[in-house]
Chain A
Amino acid sequence: DAGVIQSPRHEVTEMGQEVTLRCKPISGHDYLFWYRQTMMRGLELLIYFNNNVPIDDSGMPEDRFSAKMPNASFSTLKIQPSEPRDSAVYFCASSRQTGSSYNEQFFGPGTRLTVL
């Protein structure tokens, strides 16, 4: 398996522009997670999906952020409008539900976002 795939790997944009980050989870996984990593706050969970349905979006910082999962193999995280404080590395992760509820999460390589 190719693992979790994210694109683009790097994104530089200007304040006010729309940014869309993409993720393809591991085939067969039914949970998908979006995280943000910064030096100041470490790794933070933004939102997660189960079987394409958003379960918990309490970590989404504000209305400028939105996430969708139209099918089992694709998810997007959109920021509109972007601000310099959104600069961070955004990770996508996926896991497979097991009967024992200890789902191991597998991470993608991340998208490094810089908002000027």
Chain B
Amino acid sequence: KQEVTQIPAALSVPEGENLVLNCSFTDSAIYNLQWFRQDPGKGLTSLLLIQSSQREQTSGRLNASLDKSSGRSTLYIAASQPGDSATYLCAVGNFGNEKLTFGTGTRLTIIP
């Protein structure tokens, strides 16, 4: 059974700093990994999706990497802004079905 872990559960950094969020998974037989953002009381917004054959994806100030062999993914946020404050969740899709297994998320606070 796939298990997805995100550590730390919460992170606070000053505005302008670069930061890395971590995601680890137990079963390396994945076909994709997706990073989401969730604002308080809102739904999930898809940020980046990495196919199993890819090693990274970039969108603006965000860069997500994937290392299947070690069961890890990172989300790099450059030049953080107060508007980046939110909970970030990673989700792993395994072969054979369309299900996503979610991590418990990292609550990020950017301090102005």
B64 interface contact, C-beta 8 A: no
The verdict on A109 contacting B99 (CB below 8 Å), with A42-B104, A100-B51, A104-B49 known, is no
Q: How many residues of A contact B (CB 8 A)?
A: 26
Please report B residues at the A interface, Cβ cutoff 8 Å: 31-32, 34, 36, 41-46, 49, 51-52, 89, 91, 93, 97-100, 102-105
- Partner among B43, B89, B105 whose Cβ is within 8 Å of the Cβ of A109: B43
- List 8 contacting pairs A-B, 8 Å CB cutoff, sorted by A: A33-B98, A42-B102, A42-B103, A102-B52, A104-B34, A107-B44, A107-B46, A109-B43
Q: How far is the CA of A95 from the CA of B98 in the complex (A)?
A: 9
A56 interface contact, C-beta 8 A: yes
A71 interface contact, C-beta 8 A: no
Tell whether, in the assembled complex, residue A106 and residue B46 are in contact, meaning their CB atoms are under 8 Å apart: yes
Q: Closest residue to A91 on the B side, CB-wise?
A: B43
Secondary structure of the B side of the interface?
A: strand
Please report A residues at the B interface, Cβ cutoff 8 Å: 4, 31, 33, 42-45, 48, 50, 55-56, 91, 93, 95, 100-110, 112
Other contacts beyond A43-B91, A101-B31: 18, CB < 8 A: A4-B43, A42-B105, A44-B102, A45-B100, A48-B98, A50-B98, A56-B99, A93-B44, A95-B98, A100-B51, A102-B31, A102-B52, A103-B93, A104-B34, A105-B34, A105-B100, A107-B44, A109-B43
Q: How far is the CA of A81 from the CA of B24 in the complex (A)?
A: 38
Which chain A positions have C-beta within 8 A of B91?
43, 105
